[in-house]
């Protein structure tokens, strides 16, 4: 069940990846092989196996609702390629 080229392009777009034509062809083959493998698993009869919603049997560790100081603006903004008014600055949207 090979993926179409359009499907590869769509997935690349969702992941914000720009692919060359050569890459599109290569990834189409690789992704299709992964899907083929899953398709093989799907052939197994699982009617006697209860559905599994998660991989771990244990339960979530919970945290009390108590505030603690975090990074602070100066530290965080070291990650900003550009900044203004103590905020991250990015190009505007024109509609």
Q: Where does this chain bind other proteins (CB under 8 A)?
A: 14, 16, 53-56, 58-68, 70-73, 76-77, 79, 84-95
CA distances from 13 to 6, 9, 17, 24, 34 (A): 10, 6, 6, 12, 19
Residue 3 CB, nearest distance to other proteins (Å)?
15
Which residue's CB is nearer to other proteins, number 47 or number 56? Answer: 56
What residues contact residue 88 under an 8 Å CB cut-off, 6+ apart?
A: 77, 80, 81, 82
- At 76, list the tokens: 């965080």
Residue 63 CB, nearest distance to other proteins (Å)?
4
Which residue's CB is nearer to other proteins, number 16 or number 43? Answer: 16
Residue 46 CB, nearest distance to other proteins (Å)?
17
């Amino acid at each position: 069940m090979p993926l179409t080229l359009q499907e590869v392009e769509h997935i690349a777009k969702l992941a914000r990846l720009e692919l060359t034509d050569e890459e599109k062809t290569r990834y189409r083959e690789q992704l299709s092989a992964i899907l083929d493998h899953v398709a093989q698993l799907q052939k197994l009869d699982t009617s006697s196996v209860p559905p599994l919603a998660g991989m771990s049997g244990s339960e979530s560790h919970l945290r009390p609702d108590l505030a603690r100081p975090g990074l602070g603006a100066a530290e965080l903004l070291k990650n900003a390629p550009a900044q203004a008014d103590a905020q991250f600055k990015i190009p505007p949207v024109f509609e």
